[in-house]
Amino acid sequence: VSCERGCQNGGECISFNGAVKCLCASGWTGSRCQEAICPQGCRNNGACVAPGICSCPAGWVSGACHLAVCKLPCAHGRKCMAPNLCRCRLLCSGLEHTKKRKE
């Protein structure tokens, strides 16, 4: 590994034990400091785009892309479990126990 192509994201090129390498700034890793670190992880196919920041696919939100979005509120004790999908967790009222919401 060398610093020929440069260190990214504030990384610094250093010589260590006879080798030249990039010393990455906090929150970055990789041979050229090109990979962001998301300690919380990015779920549901989210991508770590900056330290601690996930880019979430449509239908998922929050810092780790772990909260589903239902366009219409879930009723009768249901919870939004996946994009536009309300499901009962424990006890639900009403006739339906699972209902997929239309967009």
pLDDT of residue 30: 95
> 97 with 74: CB under 8 angstroms?
no
Query: Mind listing the pLDDT tens digit for each residue in 10-42?
Result: 999 999 888 899 999 999 999 999 999 999 999
Q: What is the pLDDT of residues 73-98, one digit of tens each?
A: 998 889 999 999 999 877 676 554 44
pTM across the whole model: 0.70
The answer to whether the CB of 60 falls within 8 A of the CB of 46 is yes
Domains along the chain?
1-36 (2.10.25.10), 38-69 (2.10.25), 70-100 (no CATH)
